[in-house]
């Protein structure tokens, strides 16, 4: 007869791969920035993009900004974990950055569009996928329009794309409402999700 195994004291934490996703304009960047302030020991993946930076964005902090030619070279050499052409530009995740952080024992958080999240789901079924949504369609459209960064054609395309992205909701583990002026509540909810995941009897085993 097998003797029972008793566990006392904290178990070493198994690092998580967490994806923050959702439609364009839902506030992924703001959520990730707020999470970053509260989680200094977590690795936040810096996405690479071929689009030019917006006025407030900093290279290496908000994104790694590279030329289209350089991005296509990285695709060809297999140096990106995930990449996609989003509207008229490329976005992707450097593979080495994620592996190194996981090997160091750190949780890894990345922000991705829904297409990118689906790629990560196929590569790593044990990733934690969180879908951000607004409290209403009207709130989200107003938020998107307030950025004033798209042409009418691009704006219409983003709305059409979002409708298709919501059809992927069943592939996610959690859905979190990111309402206007309630960012702290969104972040608190995500923190609770991360804490819950770290208390699973059978931890997620992330392999990349």
Residues serving a catalytic function are 54, 147, 158
Reduce the DSSP state of residue 10 to 3 states and report it: coil
* Distance (Å, whole) CA 86 – CA 178: 22
**Neighbour-count burial for 80-107, b at 16+ CB within 10 Å, e otherwise:** bbbbbebeeebbbbbeebbeebbeeebb
Three-state DSSP string of 101-169: HHHCCCCEEEECCHHHHHHHHHHCCCCEEEEEECCCHHHHHHHHHHCCCCCHHHHHHHHHHHHHHHHHH
């Amino acid at each position: 007869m097998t003797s029972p195994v008793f566990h006392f004291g904290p178990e070493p934490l198994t690092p998580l791969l967490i994806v923050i996703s959702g439609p364009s304009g839902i506030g992924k960047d703001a959520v990730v920035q707020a999470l970053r302030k509260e989680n200094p020991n977590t690795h936040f993946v810096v996405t690479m993009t071929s689009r030019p930076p917006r006025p407030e964005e900093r290279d290496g902090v908000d994104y790694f900004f590279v030329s289209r030619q350089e991005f296509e070279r990285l695709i060809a050499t297999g140096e990106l974990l995930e990449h996609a052409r989003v509207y008229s530009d490329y976005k992707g995740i450097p593979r080495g950055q994620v592996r190194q952080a996981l090997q160091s024992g750190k949780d890894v958080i990345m922000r991705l569009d829904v297409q990118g999240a689906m790629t990560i789901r196929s590569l790593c079924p044990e990733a934690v996928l969180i879908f951000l949504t607004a409290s209403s369609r009207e709130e989200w459209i107003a938020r998107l329009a307030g950025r004033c960064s798209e042409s009418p054609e691009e704006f219409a395309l983003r709305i059409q794309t979002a409708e298709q992205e919501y059809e992927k909701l069943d592939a996610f583990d959690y859905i979190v409402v990111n309402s206007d002026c309630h960012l702290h509540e969104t972040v608190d909810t995500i923190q609770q999700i991360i804490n819950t995941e770290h208390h699973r009897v059978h931890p997620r085993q992330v392999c990349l």
